Structure 1
Amino acid sequence: RLIAMGAITELHWVNNYSGSALTITNLEPDPVFAATCPPGRSTFISEQWVPWCSRGPDFAAHHIVIILNGVTFFVWQDTDSDGNWVRLSTAGFTSSSIPPEFVPAEHFPGSALEGGDRNVEVSSGGALRLVNA
C-alpha cells in the first residue's frame, strides 16, 4: 500500500521543567542520535527529524525513544485516517486505521500536526507536549 507522506517535523530543544532527567534517542539517523536533558534545564538536540513509520515491521529503526521517570515513550510520524501527525505511545508502534478496525495512534500532546519546528516540553509534573519552536 502507498502511504502519502507530508511535511517534515523537526525537533530542536528539550525544555525540561520536571525534577527528573530525560533521555531522547533518535534511532533513524546513522549514527543514532542520543542526548540527556537534566532536570530544570534545556538541551539543544540539533535538528532531529521525527522519523516516518507507517508499518510495524519498519518501526525498529524509525522512531524516537524518550525515557522519563522510568517510562519509555515512542515517537514517530504517520499519516492515518485522522491525518498526518506526530504520534506518541508507551506501547510501541500502534496504528493503522487501514483496515478500519484499527485505531490510529494517539497524537503527541500539543502542536503535533505535521511539519515545522518543534520543541519537546516537559511540565513540572512530567507531562510531555510538543510546542512550536
Structure 2
Amino acid sequence: MAPGLIDARPIGEMMGTGTPVQSVTNFWTGSIWFLNMEEHKYDRQIPQGQTLNVGSGWVPWCRWTEEFGTRHIAIVDANAGTVLFYIWQWRGDDGDFVRASSNGFSKPGPHIAGQPEPGGERNLLVNTNRVILSKP
C-alpha cells in the first residue's frame, strides 16, 4: 500500500491479539516517563534502576501515520524531555508484532527486541540503546 493511504482491510484482519505491559524496568541513565498516548491512566515516571507496575496497559494498535499521535507508547527522558523510543503494535505483511523505533512511526516498523509476538502480559526493559519485551 502506498504511504498515506488508509488501510481498507476489515478491522479483524488488521488487529489481532493484544499485548499488555505489566511493568517497566529502567536501565536508562536517568528517570524516564512511560507514556501511553492512548490511555494516560497507565503513565508513570520511573526512576533510574527501578521497576514499576504500569497496570497492564495495552500496547496501542497503530495502522497509519495519521493516528500515530494517539496510538503509541512513548518512552521519554524525564530530564531532557525527548522521546527515546516509540512502541506500537501492527499486523503488517510480515505478521502481527509489537514494533519499536527511536524515530517515530514506520510501516510495518522494526520488531521490538525480545519477544515481539503479541499475546500475554509482558515486562518492558528500557536500556540505553533499545527497549526489550519479555514474559514475566
Task: Specify if TM > 0.5.
Answer: yes
Aligned length: 123
Counterpart position of 1:98: none
CA contact (8 A) 1:27 1:33 kept: no
Partner Cα separation in structure 1 for residue 118 and residue 124 of structure 2? 15
Higher helix share: 2
Partner Cα separation in structure 2 for residue 127 and residue 81 of structure 1? 24
Counterpart position of 1:67: 76
Which aligned segments of 4 or more residues in structure 1 are displaced greater than 6 angstroms? none
- TM-score of the superposed pair, with normalisation by structure 1: 0.82
In structure 2, give the amino acid aligned to 1:60: G
Gaps of 5+ in 2: 1-7
Q: 1:87 aligns with which of 91, 96, 99?
A: 99
Matched, 1:108 2:112: yes
Partner Cα separation in structure 2 for residue 54 and residue 18 of structure 1? 29
Q: Percent identity?
A: 32
Partner Cα separation in structure 2 for residue 105 and residue 10 of structure 1? 19
CA contact (8 A) 1:111 1:131 kept: yes
CA contact (8 A) 2:20 2:58 kept: yes
- TM-score of the superposed pair, with normalisation by structure 2: 0.81
CA contact (8 A) 1:9 1:118 kept: yes
Higher strand share: 1
